[in-house]
Amino acid sequence: MNANEATEQDEEATTDAADSSAASVGDAVVDDEAARELLAGLVSIPSPTGEERAAAERLVEFFEAHGREVWIDEVGNVRAPADDSVLLTSHVDTVPGEILVRVDDEGNLWGRGSVDATGPLAAMAVAAVRTGVSFVGVVGEETDSRGARFLVEDREAPDAVVNGEPSGWDGVTLGYRGFLAGTYSASTASGHTSRPDANAIQKAMTWWREVEGAFAADESGDGDDGETPVFEQVTAKPVEFDGGTAADGLSVGADVEAQFRIPPGETAAGIRETVEDALNCGDVDWREPIPPVMESPRTEVARAFRVAIRRAGGDPRLLRKTGTSDMNLYAEAWDCPMATYGPGDSDLDHAPNEHLALDEFDRAVGVLESVAADLQE
């Protein structure tokens, strides 16, 4: 069943405890103004991948101020364990890029990471303190996901996971494509450019044309335009191409960095086989793949989000994303229900105009509180 085909009736269970979202656990009172201050403070701290420490320390201060156990682990993750009925987790790192941090006249907070994913991160930190559930801020998501990889090796599975990425306050992401990366390398003997023999650069170009052809979109699919939806396709993308004559003048080399998105129903092994069948020269050095994930819309986590969003006056949207997230790794390692959620328009991910509406942030915090309270029952 596709995510947006869920038809079961949700019980609109409403309780005073859920509506108040358990806003006080011990010394855990965090009002909306304090929540926005945390968000703005984190966005104001540059945290590109590899430079997350200052932002991590700000999160530690926040949890300590509200009486929570918290520490930074050996890879840099912020760990605040508590009620494991649900783990709220998002990434601390952002992509590079400076955007002036400001709030405009329409109530939008501008700044790198406001959407991806400091907005979801701050919303989850606030909701975790207000409800007393577990929280982790992971590092390295924008590159090698080293924080999430360490986390799944270092702790047992919680009862449920909510991963933080922008979905819009009324959207819930249940599916992501997987990810496979590799480096093609080829070398041929050097020769005069007047000769017709193909050199390594030409062989690399021919190889890539074969690869693209092998993964060309199927035009007989069930998408709106008659093509197979992107989520269900393998996307092949060259991200770096380098080549030329060696320093000793005796050979010509070519290297291609390539990335492949893996839809549900496909495997990394199958993609590798297709890519290697197209080789006319050289070989490919593959990195560790990340498998695709597609969660059922019928899990207790998906249901809790639909109830919470409707309670807040929204019409829930169940999403499938064409990219990849840390949820893929959690789903591979942990046998528990999960979903991805967070405020913000994902079209603004990594963009020079990245900004987040503060009223959407407030709503997302409320939804996360409601979901956590529901899953704690």
Catalytic residue among 93, 165, 266, 326: 93
Query: Of the candidates 261, 316, 315, 318, which has an alpha carbon nearest to the alpha carbon of residue 291?
Result: 261
Query: Of the candidates 173, 170, 174, 172, which has an alpha carbon nearest to the alpha carbon of residue 310?
Result: 170
Going by C-beta distance under 8 Å and a sequence separation of 6 or more, which residues neighbour residue 234?
215, 260, 261, 262, 263, 266, 271
Tokens standing for 261? 């998105």
Active site residue 93: yes
Q: How far apart are CA 54 and CA 377, in angstroms?
A: 35
- 88 beta partners: 135, 162
Q: Nearest 5°: CA angle at 87, between 334 and 299?
A: 65
**DSSP 8-state code for residue 4:** G
Query: Within a 10 A sphere around the Cβ of 356, how many other Cβ atoms?
Result: 30
- Judging by beta carbons within 10 Å of its beta carbon (0-12, 13-18, 19+), is residue 69 exposed, middle or buried? exposed
What are the φ/ψ torsions at residue 152 (nearest 5 degrees)?
A: -70, -20
Catalytic residue among 37, 73, 84, 141: 141
User: Annotated active-site positions, please?
Assistant: 93, 141
